[in-house]
Each structure stands twice: as structure tokens, then as C-alpha cells.
Amino acid sequence: MLEEDLTGLPGVEVVRWDMGDTAPRTAFDIVVQPYLRSPRVLARLEGIEVRLVQSQSIGYEAAARFLPPGIVYANAASVHEGSTAELAVALTLASQRDIPRFVAAQSEGRWAGPREGDAPIPSLADRRVLIIGFGGVGKAIATRLRGFEAHVEAVATHARTEDDTIVHALEDLPALLPNTDIVILALPGGDETAKLVDDAFLSALPDAALLVNVGRGSLVDTDALLRHLHAGRIRAALDVVDPEPVPADHPLWAAPGLLLTPHVGGASTAMRPRIAALVRTQAERMRRGEDPINVVLRT
């Protein structure tokens, strides 16, 4: 539990509150938002004096709808980037090397090795990879991909070269897609990015291209993606989807060429010590009279 990691920090008292009921106090210096709970719980801060709300997630687009006025809100930058990048690479490798087919064959006791005349299994080496979004997660993905001898470039709001990566402007995206083998989405959600990946986006990709999403499910038009998957045009590996969680009868479950994981990008052993370190940093800065880090909202 996070409170166990923080107990004993000099000058800090830890109060357990899951935000599921009435607050045990009328004032807190720091409230750590529960992980994997609906952002609606933030409305319980109404009438509570709070100096800082510390999220345990990177994304914060939903928080603004429920935060009462006068709240300073920080996200969990530095906590999830490494784990999310690991999963992005794992999904990419698993899809490229046809791992889901081999797992299915193993469960059937069937040897699924290559046969004469079979097309070669696609590699990650020498593939043209385009990372869309070059914040903390996008940079962490690029760093990990370099060791696989892939040709890695990125797209962000502004063109530049950063961390040895060529970053194109967002308006250049239509010209880049036809020459891209693998697209990895690492953008936040929100109105500005909703359904960025639509039918026109997918149609611009070459046949057999791979779409990987570790950003937000809202980035992708699910109906358009399903049409392209069923046509055998492209493949996809998704950790985030729309809708989420996926209903039991949803066509995503049976879509061909799709590898699906249940939004577990940041849920690794790296999370707990890193979020504890971030909260300790915020508490120490507060005691010294310094501003908190990672502030993304002031309501």
C-alpha cells in the first residue's frame, strides 16, 4: 500500500481515505487520487481545503470535469513512462513476430513452424516506425526501439530534432503514413486528439502496417479500425480501446489481426516505488515552501 511507503517520512502524517465516502478531515496538504478509480471521486473534494491533488496517472483529461474550483492538480509524470514503453515494444514485437499465432498453436499441441512457400515473419529490425506523440512516453519508446535497429521517427505539435529522433510536425502526418510500417500512438486523450486515427488515416497506411496504441482509446475510431482489420489491410495491437472495458459481445474480441491487452501499460512493479518517490518529493517541496512539480491543472 502507498501509505506504507510514506509512513515515517519526517514531518508527514499519512491519513488513509479511499475517497469513497466522506473525508475524515476538512483539510489536507496533499490528496493522492486513488489509482484506477473513476475521476468522479474528485468531486468529493468539494468543501475540503486541499493544497495539492496528486494523480497516480499521466493522463488528466477527465479530471478537470470533476475537480472543484481552487484545486492544484499534478499528474504522475516520471512514474509510468518506462513501463508503458516496455509494453509498447512488447506489443510491437509480439505482433511482428506472430507470437499470438504461436501461443494458440501451443494450446492446441500443434507445431506451427515455417513451411516451404510461407511468407517470412515480419521483423522489427529495418522497419519504419512512426511514434505519434513525443512526450515522456514517446521518448521512452524511441529510446527502447533504437536497440532493435528500427528506423524511428516521431510526430508532435512542432517539428524538431530531440533525443536523436527526427520529430515531424503534426500537419506532415498525411505525407508520412504511406511510408510507415508501424505506427505507435503515445498521445493523451481529449477533444483535440479524439479519433485522430480515422478511416483516412488507416487508408493512408500501406498494406500489412501495424497500429499500436498505448495512449488513449479515444485516439482511434473503433468502427473504422474494425473495417480495416476485417479487410485484412492492417494489423493492430491495443492496450487502450474505445469502449473500455470492452463489452463481452463487442466485435473487437473476434477481430482478425488484433492483439488486445487490458490497459496495463503502467501497471507493473515499477509503479509503486515511483509513485511513492513522487509523493515524497511533493511533500518535501511543500515543507520547503517550494512549488510542486508536474502541475497540469489549476481549477
Distances (CA, A) of 205 to 189, 198, 266, 271: 22, 11, 28, 35
Phi first, then psi, for residue 41 (nearest 5°) are: -65, -20
Domain boundaries, the chain: 2-79+267-298, 81-260
DSSP 8-class letter at 57: S
> Where would I find the H helices in the chain?
2-6, 81-96, 99-107, 136-145, 173-176, 199-204, 222-230, 271-287
| Of the candidates 169, 216, 230, 223, the residue with the CA atom closest to the CA atom of residue 198 | 223
The closest of 275, 292, 217, 239 to 91, measured between CA atoms, is 239
* pLDDT at position 51: 96
* Amino acid 2: pLDDT: 65
pLDDT on residue 118: 86
| Collapsed DSSP state (helix, strand, coil) of residue 38 | coil
Mean pLDDT of 100-125: 93
The predicted structure's pLDDT at residue 5? 72
In sequence order, the 6+-apart residues with CB closer than 8 A to the CB of 38 are none
The arithmetic mean of pLDDT across residues 187-194, rounded, is 91
pLDDT of residue 3: 67
Range 81-260 has CATH code 3.40.50.410: no
E strands, the chain, are 27-32, 49-54, 72-74, 128-132, 151-156, 160-162, 165-169, 182-185, 210-213, 235-238, 258-260, 295-298
State pTM to two decimals: 0.92
State how beta strands 160-162 and 165-169 pair: antiparallel
- Other C-beta atoms closer than 10 Å to the C-beta of 73 total 23
Q: Which residues contact 230 (CB under 8 A, 6 or more apart)?
A: 255, 256
Average model confidence (pLDDT) for the chain? 94
Strands 258-260 and 295-298: unpaired
Q: What are 213's three cell numbers?
A: 496504441
Report pLDDT digits (tens) over 24-49: 999 999 999 999 889 999 999 999 99
Q: Do domains 2-79+267-298 and 81-260 have the same CATH topology?
A: yes
Chain centre to alpha carbon of residue 44: 26
Query: What is the CATH topology of the domain spanning 2-79+267-298?
Result: Rossmann fold (3.40.50)
Enumerate the active-site residues.
Answer: 216, 244, 263
* Predicted pLDDT of residue 216: 95
3-class DSSP assignment, residue 159: coil
